[in-house]
Structure 1
Amino acid sequence: MVQVREARFEDAEQIANIHIESWKSTYKDLIDEQDMSNITLENRIALWETILKSPVNGQIALVIENDEGELVGFISGGKERTKNYNYDGEIYAVYLLDSYQRKGYGSKLLQRFGEEMKNSGYESLLVWILTRNPSTDFYRKFGAAPVEAEEVTIGQGTYEETAYGWEDLSELLNQF
């Protein structure tokens, strides 16, 4: 049975693997190869061990398991980091293995994450996406509106990111 649950410390390596595999497949046509090569398994494991051991900014991390109980995706977020926008919550990362995309797994993750954020007192939600990323359609489908675009540096390259948001988190939750 497909299950969304809180991420645990022992999930760090699997989350790191999903992060790298999904990151590379999602961005292979959007980010130069040299800029993508900066991401390593070792630094992603260290990152996720740190996040899961001592979350900061009220960070929430959830994973989704397939029918066999294997991790196939994750989502994490917490307080909006820039404080430049009128949003209190932010999705920091959401990744699914390719073979689980467009099968409802992302929707389940987003729904549970929205519920967790609402239960934690958040009222609005922002997510940054590379502007050319086709996944923007996923967020638009659930009512996210474009907020702002800005340049971001990845490796040696500069890319445009667009923030999408739900001014009222209830608007997102009403989609499910």
Structure 2
Amino acid sequence: MSILIRDAVEGDVEGIARVHVQGWRESYRDFLRPEALAGLSVEERMQMWQGAFAQPDPRAKLLVAQTDDGGIVGFVRGGPIREGAEQLGTEAEIFAIYLLDKVKRRGIGLRLMRGVLDHLGRHGFRSVGLWVLKDNLSARRFYEALGGQSGAEQSFDLRGQMVVEVAYRFDLTPGMDRAAPMMDPRPLR
């Protein structure tokens, strides 16, 4: 199976929403109660993602990972820091990144992250942050391997359960050579 990383289009909304829901269920099954995960809705996520296309921001980037048969198996979205996320202490933010378990540990997450970080760097952002569940050690190792530095923590109610998130910061050095390694247009084999 080869995987193509490309810009998302409005026709991808349902595929992105399905990955978002299944990605939550797969990634958070060890951290969240089953009833919280069962309550996730593809339709609800479709409405959320349609909003991203309704009011596009050229500084934001939404990439998808697509299989040979056209199925969406992952995505990432990043852009200017959102109101209320200032605690990250960065100019830009990774809003979401999800991959289905069946395609993890194949370099796809790396390609998605590099693609969005490259885009943000080209738009003049010098720092990017994200939040990750503190207990999600595999995701934290992934961000650290990409050069992310852990920082502030915050607690909040997530679908009826108190959780703790850790902030990660990525510095985008001006003039950094991101071109070749950041976004490889060739499908992954």
Q: TM-score when scaled to structure 2?
A: 0.84
What secondary structure does 1:77 align onto? strand
Q: For this pair of structures, how many residues does the alignment match?
A: 176
- Report the equivalent of 1:112: 115
User: Cα offset for 1:57?
Assistant: 8.9
Native 8 Å contact 1:166 1:172 kept in 2: no
- Report the equivalent of 2:133: 130
The 2-side partners of 1:59 and 1:30 are apart by 29
- Report the equivalent of 2:186: none
AA matched with 2:33: D
Q: Is 1:159 matched with 2:160?
A: no
The 1-side partners of 2:50 and 2:3 are apart by 24
- What's the % identity of the aligned pairs? 26
AA matched with 1:49: Q
Native 8 Å contact 1:7 1:52 kept in 2: no
The 2-side partners of 1:47 and 1:172 are apart by 34
After TM superposition, list the pairs within 5 Å mapping 1:25-104 onto structure 2.
25-55=26-56, 58-81=59-82, 82-104=85-107
What secondary structure does 1:13 align onto? helix
The 2-side partners of 1:47 and 1:169 are apart by 32
The 1-side partners of 2:96 and 2:177 are apart by 17
Native 8 Å contact 2:99 2:109 kept in 1: yes
The 1-side partners of 2:177 and 2:164 are apart by 25
Distance 1:62 1:155, change over 3 A: same
User: Cα offset for 1:35?
Assistant: 2.4
